Amino acid sequence: MSNASSPRPADAPESNDRRTTRAVEPVGETMRGARILVESLIKEGVDIMFGYPGGAILHVYDELHKQASRISHILVRHEQGAAHAAEGYARSTGKVGVCMATSGPGATNLVTGLTNAMMDSTPIVAITGQVATKFIGNDAFQEADIVGITRPCTKYNYLVKDVKDLAETIKEAFYIARSGRPGPVLVDIPKDITANEYPFIWPESIDIPSYKPTVKGHPLQVKKAVDLITKTEKVILYIGGGVVNAGAAPEILELAERLNLPVTPTLMALGAFPPGHAQALGMLGMHGTYTANIAMHEAELIVNIGARFDDRVTGAVEHFARKAQKIHVDVDPSSVNKSVKVDLPIVGDAKVVTRQLIDALPPGPPPERTAWWNRLRDLQKNHPLRFREKGDVIMPQRVLVELADITKGRHICATDVGQHQMWAAQYYPADSPRKWLTSGGLGTMGYGLPAAMGAAMGHPGETVLCISGDGSFQMCIQELATCVHEGLNVKIIILNNNFLGMVRQWQELFYSRRYSEVGMKYFPDFVKIAEAYGATGLRAEKPSEVRAVLEKGLSTPGTVVMDVIVSKEANVYPMMPAGAAHYEIQEEPLDDAPAPEPRELA
Amino acid sequence: MSNTNRHVLSILVEDRFGELARIVGLFAGRGFNIDALAASRTLEPELSRVVLVTRGDDTVIEQIIKQVNKLLRVRKVNDMATTPHVERELCVVNVRAAGGKGEEELERILRLTGAHVLSHYSGGFTVELAATPDQIDSFLERLRPLGIRDMVRSAPIAIVKPAVEADGVDGTGPLSATG
C-alpha cells in the first residue's frame, strides 16, 4: 500500500485531534473514498456483503465492480432483506455481517433489521450512502437523517464528514459491532466523501477510552457464586444468547456436568446446550416446556448466564421465581437489575466468566441433587410437550417432529415469527450453537427467509432450513429471487394455516374468538409463487404426505418451498399468558374444553 | 413512585457531533425524566460536561446511570447525590420595583440574597442571582410583589467538592461557603 509519491497531507494529524486513536503508519496509496471503504472492508476480512445500489452510493458500487474478485456483493430485492441477511450471516458464522444501501429510502429500509440486531445483540455493520455534504439538511432528493433515525436502534453510528476519517471509522465500526455486547453499527457516507481522495492508511489498533467492555468477572463475585451454587440443592442454569455470542457452549456444558445442573436455554440460546442431553430441560418462557418453567418457579438458585430476564421469560415479574436467589452473568452492566433484582451480579463475558466459575469449583464428583432431579424427572414424565393429532388434518407440530427425525437438528434453521416459530423452538433440536436463527427480542415477521439466505451464503453448499408461516413468509418473499439467483440450498417449510396464527390464538383465548383481520384466505398459491421465482414448489395437504414432501424437499437441490397445509386453529402450548406467573403455565387441553374467560393482558 | 428522588448527574462525554442528542434521546426513548440540562465545555478540549437533573426511585436511577454509562462516548457519570457537591443555578429577572418604596424593597432583597443589579432601565431593573435552585425559588417569591416582567433561569450546574485540604478551603476558613 505504501506509495512514497503521495505524501500524507501536513494537516492530517491535527484534523484527527478528536479521534481517540491514531496509528502512526507509513504513508498509504492515495485513492478515492469509495476505494478506501472497500479496502477497509477487505482489511476487516469481509468477503461477502448484502446490499442494494442507488444514487448516493454509486461510487462505492463502481468500486465493488472493480474489486469483484476480492469481495462479493449479493444483490437483495429489498434493503430489509440485506439487513436480515447480514444478521443471518453473522449469527451463523460468528463474524460481523455487512449490509449496504443507498441514502433515503434505501437507508430507512434497513431500520427494522438494525433494530432486530440491536435487540438480539447481533454484530452487523451497515454502510449507507448519503447525499453530498453540501446538500445535507436541505431536504435533498433521497435525503434522510439516517444517523438521527438510527441513533436508538444502533449500538453506535457515524456520519463520515471527511474522507480522512473513513478508514478509521470503518475499523472502529467493526470493533464496536463485535466487542462487548455485540450490536449493529451504521456508517453513513455522503457521496462526495466517497469521491474525495486521500491516502489509505489502515490503523493497526483501536482504542476508545470511553468504551472498555468488562470481560473478566470480579474474582470475589465468582468465588461467592461458586459458594452459593455448591451449597444450594435446587439450582437451575438459565442460559441466553450471550452464551452463543461468546462461544461459551463448551464451558456451559462443562459447568453443568461438573455441578449436575439442569439447564434451560432461552429462545436465543437454543443449540447452545445439547437438546438431547440428560440435563436439558428444554426452552423456558411463555411457550417453554412445563418442566423448565416450573423448575424456575421452584428453584432456590437461578444461575443466569448471558440472558436478560426478558418479559417473555419471566412472566409477571412480581411473581417471578420468588423463592430463588439469582446470580446474573452478563457482559452488559445495564442488563443487571433492569427488570429483575439479582442477588449476585457478575459483569463479564459469558465464556470467560463460566471458565472462571469452573476453575473455582472445589474438586470432587458432581453433587447428586437427588430430590431436585427426582422432582424434575417427575415433571418431565408427566408434562412432556404434547399435541393432539386430528385425523386427516396435518398438525403443525407433527411436521416439525418429522423434520427433527429426518434432520436430527444438524442443519442451520431460521424461523420467522409467530406460532410456527414457537413450535420450531419446541421441536427442532438444533444440535449446536449458531444453528438456530430467530428474531427473539423484536419479533420481526419477515426475518426468516433473508436470515436463512445470509446463513446459506456464509456456509456455501450447505442446506439451510427456513420455517415460516403464511403470514411471515410474505413479508420478505421477494428474497426468493435472491436465493434462486445465488443457487442457495434454502429449504422453506411454510406451516400454512390460513391465519396469522399467533394473533388468532390470542383472539381465540382472550378476545372471545373475535378474529379481527387475521384470515389469509389461502392466497397466494405458494407452489406457483415458488415456480414463478424459479424455485421448486411442493405441497402437503394430508398427514400421509408430510414425510414424503419433507424428504423430497430436502433432497431437491436449490431453493425449495414446501407449502404444508396445517390445522387452521392449532394453538401453541404450553402457554404462560402475558402477565401470568410460571406456575400458571397452561398445557394443551386434553379435550375440547371451552375457551377460557377473556382476561386483561399485559 | 413514592421513593422518587431528585438526582443531579454530571456526565463527561466526548465532544463529538450528536453525542448530546444520544443522551437526550436515551432519556426520551426509555421514559426517563429530564428536569433540566446544561451542557458546556471542560478544561479538556475533547470532553464536554452535561449536568442533568432527573428524578426516579433507586432502581430507575440505577438504570439511568447504567444506560448513560453504556453510551459509547460517555467517559464518566457522576451521581451528585452520592458525593458532597455544590450546586448553582443562574437566574436573571426583569423586575419593576416601581417608586422609592419598591426600590428600597429591592435593595433589601438584593442584600439578603446576594443578588445584584445588571442594568437599570426606565421602569425597572435587571437583576441576577446565582444560587441553589431552592434559593432561587424563594428569591423569585420575594420579587413577585415588586412586579416581575420577565424571568429566565439556567439549568443547575454542580461540581464535586474536593476532599478537605489543609489551608482553610474546607468550608470553615475565611472563604467559607455561602451555599
Dump pLDDT digits (tens) for A176-199.
Answer: 999 999 999 999 999 999 999 999
Inter-chain Cβ pairs, chain A and chain B, closer than 8 A = 50
Q: What is the pLDDT of residues A68-112, one digit of tens each?
A: 999 999 999 999 999 999 999 999 999 999 999 999 999 999 999
The question of whether A31 is a catalytic residue gets the answer no
pLDDT in tens, A143-167: 999 999 999 999 999 999 999 999 9
- Chain A residues within 8 A of B59 when measuring between CB atoms: 337, 341
pLDDT at A594: 53
Chain A residues touching B13 at Cβ < 8 A: 210
A210·B62 Cβ contact <8 A = no
pLDDT at A24 over 70: no
Catalytic residue, from A49, A100, A502, A576: name it: A502
Residue A513 three-state SS: coil
Give the gap in angstroms from C-alpha A333 to the nearest C-alpha of chain B. 7
pLDDT at B40 over 80: yes
Active site residue A191: yes
What pLDDT does residue A100 have? 98
Pick B165 or B118 by higher pLDDT.
B118
- Under the phi-then-psi rule, with left for phi > 0, alpha for psi from -120 to 50, and beta for the rest, what region is B144? alpha
Q: Catalytic: A79?
A: yes
Whether the per-residue pLDDT at A598 is higher than 70: the answer is no
Looking at chain A, the whole-number percentage of residues with pLDDT higher than 90 is 89
Task: Enumerate residues 100 to 129 of chain B having a beta carbon within 8 A of any beta carbon in chain A.
Answer: none
pLDDT at B170: 46
Contact B74 A20 (CB under 8 A): no
Q: How confident is the model at residue B179 (pLDDT cuts 50, 70, 90)?
A: very low
Within 8 A of A328 by CB-CB distance, chain B residues are: none
Q: Is the CB of residue B31 less than 8 Å away from at least one CB of chain A? A: no
List of chain B residues whose C-beta atoms are within 8 Å of the C-beta of residue A159: 17-18
A49 as an active site residue: the answer is: no
Spell out which residues of chain B touch residue A161, defining contact as CB-CB under 8 Å.
17
Average pLDDT, stretch B67-96? 96
Interface test with A, best of B41, B70, B71, B77 (most A CBs within 10 A): B70
DSSP of A178-233? HSSS--EEEEEEEHHHHHSEEE----S----TT-----SPPHHHHHHHHHHHHH-S
Mean pLDDT, chain B, whole residue set = 90
User: Tell me, what's the pLDDT at A26?
Assistant: 52
* Residue B123's pLDDT band (cuts 50, 70, 90): confident
Nearest-CA distance B61 → chain A (Å): 11
Check: CB of residue A408 under 8 Å from CB of residue A219: no
Give residues with Cβ within 8 angstroms of A575, minimum separation 6: A286, A287, A509, A585, A586
Chain A residue with the nearest C-alpha to that of B60? A338
A595, pLDDT greater than 60: no
Contacting residues of A for B63, CB less than 8 Å apart: 334, 337-338
The pLDDT tens digits of the residues spanning A28-73 come to 899 999 999 999 999 999 999 999 999 999 999 999 999 999 999 9
Higher pLDDT, A520 or A591: A520
CA–CA dist A254, B9 (Å, integer): 43
Q: Considering A95, A164, A171, A191, which one is annotated as catalytic? A: A191
Q: Does B20 touch chain A (CB under 8 A)?
A: no
- Measured between beta carbons, which residues in chain A are less than 8 angstroms from residue B75? 209-210
pTM for the model: 0.91
Phi, psi of B31 (to 5 degrees): 75, 25
Residue A520 among the catalytic residues = no
pLDDT confidence of A27, banded at 50, 70, 90? confident
Q: How do strand A344-347 and strand A325-330 relate by DSSP bridges?
A: parallel
Interface test with B, best of A157, A174, A210, A331 (most B CBs within 10 A): A210
| Residue A521 pLDDT level (bands cut at 50, 70, 90) | confident
- Closest Cβ–Cβ partner in A18, A176, A338 for B63: A338
pLDDT at A12: 40
DSSP letter for each residue of A537-566: EEEE-SHHHHHHHHHHHHHSSS-EEEEEEB
Q: How many angstroms away from the CA of B41 is the closest CA of chain A?
A: 14
Mean pLDDT on B11-17: 95
More confident position, B168 or B23: B23
Q: What is the mean pLDDT of chain A?
A: 93
C-alpha cell at B14: 466526548
- The pLDDT tens digits of the residues spanning A458-486 come to 999 999 999 999 999 999 999 999 999 99
Cell reading at B129: 442571582
Element of type H or E holding B117: strand B116-121
Higher pLDDT, residue B173 or B54: B54
Mean pLDDT, range B77-81, rounded to an integer: 95
Average pLDDT estimate for B134-150: 96
Distance from CA of A545 to the nearest CA of B (A): 50
Whether B72 sits inside 8 A of A148 (CB atoms) is no
Catalytic residue among A39, A44, A79, A168: A79
Q: What is the ipTM of this complex?
A: 0.86
Nearest Cα neighbor of A307 from A255, A352, A246 is A246
